[in-house]
Amino acid sequence: MVLSGDPVKMYARCHLIMDMLLIMDVPSVLPPAEELNMRIKKTLSSPSASHYNNYSSQATTGDEIKSKGPVKGHSDVLKEPSSLNTKPDVEGPKSRHDTGLSVYETDRSCEHEFGSYCLWARKNRRVMKDSNVKRLKDQLFVARAYYPSIAKIKGKETLTRELKQNIQDHERILTEAVSDPDLPPLVGKKISNMDKIIAEAKSCPIDCTNIDRKLRQILDLTEDEAQFHMKQSAFLYQLGVQTMSKTFHCLLMRLTVEFFKSPASIMDHISVSEIGNPSYQHYLIFSKNILALSVTINSTVLNSEESDRMVFHVLTDKQNFYSMKHWFVRHSYGNATIDILNFDELKSNHISNLDLGEMSMSEEFRISSHTISQRSPLQMGTKYLSVFGHSHFLLADMFKDLKKVVLLDDDVIVQKDISFLWNLDLGGKVIGATEFCGVKLGHLKSYLGTTMYDNNDCAWMSGINIVDLEKWRELDITGVYERIVNQLKQENEVQWRAAALPANLLAFHGHIYTLDNTLVQQGLGHDYEVSEDSLKNAAALHYNGNMKPWLDLAIPKYKIYWKKYLTRDERYMEECNVNP
């Protein structure tokens, strides 16, 4: 049994949300390493936290901080807006907001602290754009680094609350704003509030090694700015997860140990006739998070008229396999059959010629664009998309006996009977999906290349999808997908994962049956503005976005809909203090 590895990773759901800037902005002149270096030094050497001074002086002389060396000319600092191998669409007029001021210009101590850097920054201030957005991101980063430590201190409840509130405010602003002109009018106040809170947090007598470690980690991440922000958001997301990782880890260990202690769980009492029976309703879920999974299944079963013929096939990785198996020995869900599968094993048994890597969940993308000139039809701000991960494309081979399946993401809850999906006539299409017209294929031209497609076609969402596997095999969707992925440049893991977006949209182009948009309310992991009516009436809720309902920093008013389906009857959760 393999249970090594970083506990954070195990629970982090691998939900790297990818930032994609569609329309290239005039790049910031600053190499981000340099910029970050400056700011972190500044943070750390603030007089209120004298114990950091040590670190600061170390950092300047030591080599932990990977600065990119001398500032480069701005033409080669930022070549690509995203990790994809596409040319940024720079034909559009230059952004009209070229006059952002350097943060440092107004900071008197700047020159004193940073020496010639400041002179340089002042000279080049014209291109130091969107300084407030960058400022917000920095503050968010620092605040998040402090949050877990502050939350542990007795007597700091007010500060903890304020810090959390400010973090949420910042997140909220940043989900909507890409550039300074998108920012709400009172942003200056928010920035100065956050400054105060951070200063207060820093003055607390806390063990600085945690924070120190978190801040150091990010110094290693910097490559270019797009990359940097992408990683930063993944990193921030993991920080949120980290505050819970010990308890989650405990739960996983308890369940795994119990699995091996109890003979009942080792004996597979699921009959094969149910698992392969095409007349049953087969649901497929990829998951690495037992609580998320349990809630998705529970809500689906509870809201179905009958569960006798429901089979849930859960694909998970080897770290989670035994604990999940044991969980489902302890809990039952109506009369539904639960079939836990080890993806890694299944892959090595069934698939010989395809290699789409480790198990991946649905991939989420945050697509941003600046509003450019009036003549441009593109006015979209920031949109969230989620599509199948690479692993989904092995399903048609892995489940050879099945004709139709419903795919669920584990950040979905079902509130109504969705069995009507099984009776839909897809009219020869491969998958049923809700459309997402906030992004049209034409917007993604630079990512999709010149293949034939209709610019006005909408993107679509994963979350709940009905899939005709026979049609899938007949059209060799897997082969098509694989060819597209192989054609895209993938120099690193991020690019490789990002390839899922264009490959999904192209492989299924023309093969989508549109499901009614009222079926799923999307966006509960990022959008604060969803109305109560929509929440109540949607057949399903999709918590796509960073603020997953099981995380500490979930959006509170949406969390109750999720928590409703979480069992309150699990000894190991109590013992491990798991209480999302």
Ligand X SMILES: *[C@@H]1O[C@H](CO)[C@@H](O)[C@H](O)[C@H]1NC(C)=O
Site residues for ligand X per CB under 6 A: 294, 298, 302, 306-308, 331, 333-335, 564-565, 567-569
Nearer to ligand X, 203 or 567 (CB): 567
With helix as H, strand as E and coil as C, how does 244-256 read?
Answer: HHHHHHHHHHHHH
Closest to 569 in 3D by CA, of 333, 330, 335: 330
Nearer to ligand X, 314 or 448 (CB): 314
Return d(Cα 468, Cα 427) in angstroms, integer. Answer: 10
Nearer to ligand X, 300 or 368 (CB): 300
Nearer to ligand X, 18 or 413 (CB): 413
Tell me how far, at minimum, the Cβ of 254 lies from ligand X, in Å: 17
Return d(Cα 139, Cα 142) in angstroms, integer. Answer: 5
Tell me how far, at minimum, the Cβ of 279 lies from ligand X, in Å: 17
Determine the Cα angle at 180 with ends 177 and 182, to 5°: 45
Residues 465 and 433 sit within 8 Å (Cβ to Cβ): yes
Contacts of 128 (CB under 8 A, 6+ apart): 28, 29, 30, 100, 101, 102, 103, 121
Nearer to ligand X, 306 or 454 (CB): 306
Q: Is residue 473 left, alpha or beta, with left meaning phi > 0 and alpha meaning psi from -120 to 50?
A: alpha
Return d(Cα 530, Cα 344) in angstroms, integer. Answer: 38
Tell me how far, at minimum, the Cβ of 197 lies from ligand X, in Å: 37
Nearer to ligand X, 366 or 559 (CB): 559
Return d(Cα 164, Cα 144) in angstroms, integer. Answer: 9
The residues that bridge with 387 in the sheet, in sequence order, are 363
Return d(Cα 102, Cα 117) in angstroms, integer. Answer: 12
Tell me how far, at minimum, the Cβ of 327 lies from ligand X, in Å: 9
Nearer to ligand X, 60 or 335 (CB): 335
Question: What DSSP string describes 225-237?
Answer: HHHHHHHHHHHHH
Tell me how far, at minimum, the Cβ of 397 lies from ligand X, in Å: 31
Tell me how far, at minimum, the Cβ of 3 lies from ligand X, in Å: 24
The secondary structure of the chain in percent helix, strand, coil, rounded to multiples of 5, reads: 50, 10, 40
Tell me whether strands 404-409 and 464-468 are parallel, antiparallel or unpaired: antiparallel
Tell me how far, at minimum, the Cβ of 424 lies from ligand X, in Å: 23
Return d(Cα 549, Cα 234) in angstroms, integer. Answer: 17
Nearer to ligand X, 112 or 568 (CB): 568
With helix as H, strand as E and coil as C, how does 47-116 read?
Answer: CCCHHHHHHHHHHHHCCCCCCCCCCCCHHHCCCCCCCCCCCCCCCCCCCCCCCCCCCHHHCCHHHHHHCH
Q: Which residue is nearest to ligand X (CB)?
A: 567
Nearer to ligand X, 215 or 566 (CB): 566
Nearer to ligand X, 300 or 446 (CB): 300
Tell me how far, at minimum, the Cβ of 342 lies from ligand X, in Å: 22
Tell me whether strands 337-342 and 464-468 are parallel, antiparallel or unpaired: unpaired
Tell me how far, at minimum, the Cβ of 295 lies from ligand X, in Å: 7
Tell me how far, at minimum, the Cβ of 297 lies from ligand X, in Å: 8
- Give the containing element (helix H, strand E) for 460: strand 458-460
